[in-house]
Amino acid sequence: MAGVRRPEAGPAGVATTTLETVRCLVMGVLNVTPDSFSDGGRYLDPDAAVAHGLRLAGEGADVVDVGGESTRPGAEPVGAEVERERVVPVVAALAPHVRVSIDTRKAVVAEAAIEAGATLVNDVSASLWPVAAAAGVGWVAMHMQGTPPTMQEHPRYDDVVGEVRAFLAERAAEARAAGVDEVWIDPGIGFGKTAAHNLALLRALPALVAVGEPVLVGTSRKGILGALTGGAPVEDRLEASVATAVWAMTRGAAMVRVHDVAATLQAARLVGDDVDLEEAS
């Protein structure tokens, strides 16, 4: 398609390089869980999960993010064996077709997913960089205050932007020193943060971009959008999800993590100047 720049293709035609891309990249969410806040239970069956992952890839997702444990507020942890069994067959089936990231807090799950073909560790605990370094894959460091069962009870910061920024800069430096070549940082919207904290972080994204690592942002269908829209239920947050994704793009985000890939990618192409005006006229 004329005018649309894609990430560089890797050996198997899978997107591996992201940083030269002009438009913001789009990571599609695939939760192989019974209890995720928006798609829980829909893709617990491996065939349904693979079909949805291929659908997201077909819509143009640059990365499909496979997760086997919900980290929504109040979620109970899942054992490593259960999580591994959920994600590995799905990663293996998708990896020949699209770049796959593994959304996990557990080293053994990350290692198994990498073995199955994942090339990016999406780590909401920001602790798995040694796994990424050992395997030679990319790593996302996300900020979270507390842990999912209780993180929304009393989120507290003196300076949310400064604290999140310092934490991510420190983790990124540790990962780089350990040999990770591809490091992403993510403010962790909704992870131990009030609506005011989340908004402050979205407004201050340029301060995170200034850390010097590409920034990933996930607002898709989250509770903050319910708060900002006067109570839109989770199934009615598409517009707010795209709006906040665009907001993040215009403040320098290099990738957004979303459930609605096609709509977000259309927005990313427009915002990223990735349209062919001659073809359009």
Active site residues: 222, 257
Give the range of 16-24, 160-168, 182-190, 204-212 binding ligand HH2 by CB under 6 A. 182-190
Exactly one of 29, 87, 164, 268 binds ligand HH2 (CB under 6 A); which one?
A: 29
Only one of the segments 129-137, 181-189, 204-212, 260-268 lies at the binding site for ligand HH2 (rule: CB under 6 A); that segment is 181-189
Give one DSSP letter per residue of 155-212, joined into a string. ---SSHHHHHHHHHHHHHHHHHHHT-S-EEEE--TTSS--HHHHHHHHHTHHHHHTTS
Does 28 bind ligand HH2 (CB under 6 A)? Our answer is no
Calpha distance 119→90 (Å, rounded): 14
Member of 7, 28, 60, 67 binding ligand HH2 (CB under 6 A): 67
Residue nearest to ligand HH2 (CB): 218
Q: In angstroms, what is the minimal distance from the CB of 209 to ligand HH2?
A: 16
Binding test (CB under 6 A) with ligand HH2, winner from 43, 56, 63, 72: 72
193 lies in the binding site for ligand HH2 (CB under 6 A):
no
Alpha carbons within 13 A on the beta-carbon side of 222:
25
Count the residues of the shown chain that bind ligand HH2, applying the rule CB under 6 A: 21
Q: Is 103 an interacting residue with respect to ligand HH2 (CB under 6 A)?
A: yes
Residues 6+ apart with CB under 8 A from 24: 245, 248, 249, 253, 254, 255, 256, 268, 271, 272
CA distance 41 to 270: 33
**Edge-to-edge strand ranges of the sheet holding 25-31:** 183-186, 138-142, 120-123, 99-103, 63-67, 25-31, 255-258, 216-217
**Whole-number minimum distance, CB 30 to ligand HH2, in Å?**
9
Check: CB of residue 118 under 8 Å from CB of residue 143: no
* DSSP code string of 17-74: --TT-SSPEEEEEEE-SS--TTTTTTS-SHHHHHHHHHHHHHTT-SEEEEESS--STT
Binding ligand HH2 by CB under 6 A: which of 18, 21, 70, 244? Answer: 70
Does 255 participate in binding ligand HH2 (rule CB under 6 A)? no
| Contact letters for ligand HH2, residues 110-149 (x by CB under 6 A) | ------------x-x---------------x-x-------
Range in contact with ligand HH2 (rule: CB under 6 A) among 1-9, 34-42, 201-209, 229-237: 34-42
Residues that bind ligand HH2 (CB under 6 A): 29, 31, 33, 36-38, 67, 70-72, 103, 122, 124, 140, 142, 186, 188-189, 216, 218, 257
